[in-house]
């Protein structure tokens, strides 16, 4: 059984969107770690672009916390360690996640946290971070407001800390928003 991530039909005519979608898959194919959801293939069939990846039976951390409300300190630490190990491995390959949040971490039915959606990740063929890829709104605001270098791996650690906080308290430390102007002031 595999999971499929499908590029929405409204983006299939956008060459840049297709390129970024394929770039995510190609990056994901290079990352093989027990705490990163592996990507097996990227393809297109009759105009539908998709990524085939491991099917993780379970759910994302946001759904998990909505059900459980919060985790014990021991369970939260185990989850955060899983995420940190996946991030560390990706960094050894020259990649920063750049969109670390509760919905981009899957919790398997066996209790293993796995990073997903490296769609905003940044890497180049020689292992150096690239300047061209986009970054999540939260990352852009953090970099702008702190002067941190673009795609600094410490940003992933900062957002790992926000996940840890939410796992322990059941409440996000930062208000959720979808509007960029709310993040850049």
Q: Which residues are catalytic?
A: 99
For strands 48-54 and 2-6, give the pairing.
antiparallel
Q: Give residues with Cβ within 8 angstroms of 104, minimum separation 6.
A: 60, 97, 115, 116, 117
Residue 149 is classified by DSSP as P
Q: Evaluate whether 33 touches 91 at the Cβ level (below 8 Å).
A: no
HSE-CB of 42 using CA atoms within 13 angstroms? 16
- Neighbour tally for 136: CB within 10 Å: 19
Where are any strands of DSSP class E within the chain?
2-6, 39-45, 48-54, 58-60, 105-108, 113-115
């Amino acid at each position: 059984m595999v999971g499929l991530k499908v590029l929405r039909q409204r983006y299939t005519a956008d060459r840049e969107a297709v390129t970024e979608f394929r770039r995510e898959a190609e990056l994901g194919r290079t990352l093989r770690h027990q705490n990163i959801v592996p990507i097996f293939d990227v393809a297109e069939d009759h105009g539908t672009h998709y990524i085939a990846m491991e099917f993780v039976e379970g759910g994302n951390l946001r759904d998990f916390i909505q059900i459980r409300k919060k985790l014990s300190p021991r369970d939260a630490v185990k989850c955060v360690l899983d995420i940190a190990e996946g991030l560390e491995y990706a960094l050894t390959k020259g990649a920063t996640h750049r969109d670390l949040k509760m919905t981009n971490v899957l919790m398997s039915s066996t209790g293993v946290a796995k990073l997903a959606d490296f769609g905003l990740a940044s890497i180049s063929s020689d292992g150096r971070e690239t300047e061209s890829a986009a970054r999540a709104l939260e990352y852009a605001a953090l970099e702008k407001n702190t002067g941190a270098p673009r795609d600094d791996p410490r940003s992933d650690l900062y957002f790992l800390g926000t996940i840890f906080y939410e796992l322990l308290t059941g409440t996000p430390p930062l208000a959720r928003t979808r509007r960029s102007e709310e993040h850049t002031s």
